Amino acid sequence: MGVFNKKFMKKAIGLSIINVAQGGGPFGAVIVKNGKIIAEGVNKVTKKNDPTAHAEITAIRDASKKLKTFDLKGCEIYTSCEPCPMCLSAIYWANISKIYFANTKKDAAKIGFRDDHIYRELAAALHKRKIPTKQALHEEALKAFELWEYKEDKVSY
């Protein structure tokens, strides 16, 4: 695993600045493997009308496509801001080995981004969340999990 490299962080920050100038959100990210940038991403939420098109997510999608794998173990992500809950989850799902960030979630909150709100919601009991959440048809849904559990040729992730 590499060590922090200022040029990669500067690249992520530069992408965030350019993206604002081009009408996107103030976020940029790069994914590095073996000392080389393999993917870049910028926030495209409003450009694509896609609430999941955050810089880290677009970079992960690009890296996975280029490397032809969903497992990005051995990669590092440099992002212009501390990942939101969705992006942090995606980073974990992708098995990215290290995260470097510049701005904090508090910096993001100061300019109107809701990361702190979502972190609080995730920690809240289901009955206390702002979006009503109720479990339903649990027994029926377990069938898919049972099939998966005993599937001989499954690819675990």
φ and ψ at 37, to 5 degrees? -70, 125
By annotation, the residues acting in catalysis are 56
| Counts for the chain of helices (H) and strands (E), in that order | 7, 4
Q: Rounded to whole angstroms, how far apart are CA atoms 42 and 17? A: 10
Helix or strand holding residue 142 (H, E): helix 138-150
Q: Output phi, psi for 28, to 5 deg.
A: -145, 155
Which amino acid, 145? F
